[in-house]
Amino acid sequence: MTPGLSAGARPPCAGTVREGITASLALVPSVFVYGTVFGGLAVQSGLTMAQVLGMSVLVFAGASQFVAVPMLATGAPAVAIIVTTYVVNMRHYLMAATLAPSFRGFRRAWLALIAHVINDESFAIAVARSRPPDAWIYLGSALAICGAFTGGVVVGVSVGGLVERPERYGLDFAFPAVFLALVAVQLRRRADWLVAVGAAVVAVALALVLPGNWHIVVTGLVVSAVAAWVLPLDDVDPRDARAA
Amino acid sequence: MRSDVWLVIIGMAVATYLTRAPMFLALARRPLPPRVRLWLRLVPLAVLPALAVPLVLVRDGRLALGWTNPALWGAAVVFVLAAWRVNLLASVAIAVAVVALLRTLA
């Protein structure tokens, strides 16, 4: 019997998986706290513990989950939340395309499962280690990041319900604060500033006229598409895929 | 809380899986066209400000640009700290504390 994971690929290498886990340890505390903050704020916003955990396991994409919670709480239409989730997570296409060739020879059932744990941190670690990225390093890292995030969410939902009147502590502001921090660390080139500032202006204008939070999706797609069309193709390194 | 939360969660899960699985299962060796890669790189840079800035500047369907808007100060603090490469969660925590303080004083 061949071991389940690989059929024809080089054999699974426990040492390499361990290397992926070790390489991720530096990120584990912040991913854990990120999960804790998400779990706490989501429970505060009125989701049940089961809903918060369910979302974290089934969606497993922190930034889009942060996006969805205030939208759920303020009564945005279901379709608007789902489409916004899709747009926030579109960066996965880039990561999936970059990782895919390293996973040739894996069984399709495993590929379908591994696809679900594609995440910014593990992608960054695997790509920083080697080009093309190593499949087993990536898997080790994904294991560590999944564990850290889910563990953080479990702690967060347990603790989050204890705080009364969260707006008194400015906790509702944590949502825009997380988004702004994620933007600030991505601004490297002049073009990045143009896109971010342009999107901010367009979004505020649209938010004043469009109902149901549609300004987020419309701005995100249109401003990025226009920019990608007109900007020079200076540097589109796949490492830049890591984002939110 | 509304009654369609689980429906939204399932929808989010399907939408997110559709961003991960197709390219991964295709195992394509050929990279995406450069303009498409640039676009995918820029999407988060457009989405995140589109999310955050109206949350800070728009209150009840109107612009709140006055200096008495605590969120405006919190936004400036978190942006500058994160741009200085202060740890992301520390930046957020400090900004949240600033907003809480300003609300208490108001």
List, for residues B40-87, the tens digit of each pLDDT value.
Answer: 889 989 999 998 999 999 988 889 888 889 999 999 999 999 999 998
Residue A239 has pLDDT above 60, yes or no: no
pLDDT of residue A69: 95
Q: Are A186 and A207 in contact (CB under 8 A)?
A: no
Alpha carbons A46 and B28: distance in angstroms, whole number: 42
CA–chain centroid gap for B60, Å, is 20
| Model confidence pLDDT, tens digit, residues B4-41 | 999 999 999 999 999 999 999 987 667 788 899 899 88
- Contacts with A208 from chain B: Cβ below 8 Å: 58, 61-63
- Residue-by-residue DSSP string for B72-97: HHHHHHHHHHHHTT--HHHHHHHHHH
Nearest CA in chain A to B52: A176
Nearest to A224 among B15, B45, B96 (CB): B45
Interface test with B, best of A108, A183, A215 (most B CBs within 10 A): A183
Q: Check whether A205 has a pLDDT greater than 80.
A: yes
The dihedral sign for the CA sequence A38, A44, A47, A48: positive
- What amino acid occupies position A30? S
Q: Using CA coordinates, name the residue in chain A closest to B17.
A: A116
Of A86, A70, A87, the closest CA to residue B56 belongs to A70
Q: What is the DSSP letter of A86?
A: H
Confidence of residue A115 (pLDDT cuts 50, 70, 90): very high
B103 and A168 in contact by Cβ < 8 A? yes
Give pLDDT, residue A129.
85
pLDDT of residue A1: 41
User: Which helix (H) or strand (E) segment is B37 a member of?
Assistant: helix B34-57
pTM across the whole model: 0.84
Spatial distance between the Cα atoms of B77 and B83, rounded to a whole number of angstroms: 10
- CA separation for the pair A203, A156 (Å, rounded): 31
pLDDT per residue as tens digits for the range A144-200: 999 999 999 999 999 987 777 777 788 889 889 988 998 998 898 889 999 999 999
Under an 8 A CB cutoff, do B78 and A177 touch?
yes
The confidence score (pLDDT) of residue A232 equals: 85
What is the interface pTM, i.e. ipTM, of the complex? 0.90
- pLDDT-based confidence at residue B95 (cuts at 50, 70, 90): very high
Q: Is the pLDDT of residue A137 over 60?
A: yes
Specify burial of residue A172 (Cβ count, 10 A radius: 0-12, 13-18, 19+): buried
Residue B106 to residue B88: CA distance in whole angstroms:
27
Residue A233 has pLDDT above 70, yes or no: yes
Nearest CA in chain A to B96: A170
The DSSP 8-state label assigned to residue A13 in this structure reads: -
Q: Select the residue of A73, A114, A244 nearest B48 (Cβ to Cβ).
A: A244
A-B contacts at Cβ under 8 angstroms: 313
Q: What is the mean pLDDT of residues A26-42?
A: 91
As a whole number of angstroms, the distance between CA A61 and CA A79 comes to 18
Partner B contacted by A163 (CB < 8 A)? no
Is residue A77 scored above 90 in pLDDT?
A: yes
Helix axes A135-160, A49-58, angle to 10 degrees: 170
Q: What is the DSSP string of A131-193?
A: SSPPHHHHHHHHHHHHHHHHHHHHHHHHHHTT-SSGGGGTGGGHHHHHHHHHHHTT--SHHHH
Instruction: Write the CA distances from B89 to A112, A165, B94, B101, integer angstroms.
Output: 32, 21, 9, 18
Residues 197 through 226 of chain A touching chain B, CB cutoff 8 Å? 197-200, 202-204, 207-208, 215-217, 219-221, 223-225
- Contact check, Cβ <8 Å, B11/A78: yes
